């Protein structure tokens, strides 16, 4: 069965960077886009961008351009999301979510990674 297993919770200071991983299993990793979505406390989901694990090509939400980097390692079926220059309002749960084949809904989600930014 499809599973997305994310790395554990992180606590970071303002100005630092965080890198969250998402290990995929149960399907062909390179066959489906991987998206990253974050959700601040009490807020709705916010799409950050996606990566094509096959080519490594990325599309970032305009808000995160120049600030986020999404990468992947196909040898271990793992996607990564790095966010730099963290601020307190980047405190959120970060999810990876698998897109469908040729479509943009998310039938599979990771368990989420809580990133807390605090001095």
Footprint on this chain of other proteins (rule: CB under 8 A): 35, 37, 44-47, 50, 59, 61-62, 95, 100, 103-107, 109-112
Rounded to a whole number of angstroms, the minimum distance from the CB of residue 113 to other proteins is 11
Rounded to a whole number of angstroms, the minimum distance from the CB of residue 55 to other proteins is 15
Q: Considering beta carbons, is residue 2 or 16 the nearer one to other proteins?
A: 2
Pairwise CA distance, residues 109 & 117, whole Å:
23
Q: Considering beta carbons, is residue 67 or 106 the nearer one to other proteins?
A: 106
Q: Considering beta carbons, is residue 29 or 94 the nearer one to other proteins?
A: 94
- 3-state class of 15 per DSSP? coil
Pairwise CA distance, residues 9 & 60, whole Å:
23
- 3-state class of 27 per DSSP? coil
Rounded to a whole number of angstroms, the minimum distance from the CB of residue 34 to other proteins is 12
Whole-angstrom CA distances from 93 to 12, 55, 57, 71, 107 are 13, 27, 24, 19, 18
Rounded to a whole number of angstroms, the minimum distance from the CB of residue 112 to other proteins is 6
């Amino acid at each position: 069965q499809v599973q997305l297993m994310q790395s554990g919770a992180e606590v970071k200071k303002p100005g630092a960077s965080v890198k969250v991983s998402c290990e995929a299993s149960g399907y062909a990793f390179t066959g489906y886009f991987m998206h990253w979505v974050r959700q601040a406390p009490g807020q709705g989901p916010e799409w950050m961008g996606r990566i094509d694990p096959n080519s490594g090509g990325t599309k970032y939400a305009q808000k995160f351009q120049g600030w986020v980097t999404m990468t992947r390692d196909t040898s271990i079926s793992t996607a990564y999301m790095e966010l730099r220059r963290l601020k307190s309002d980047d405190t959120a749960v970060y999810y990876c979510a698998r897109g469908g084949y040729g479509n943009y809904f998310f039938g599979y989600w990771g368990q989420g990674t809580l990133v807390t930014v605090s001095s």
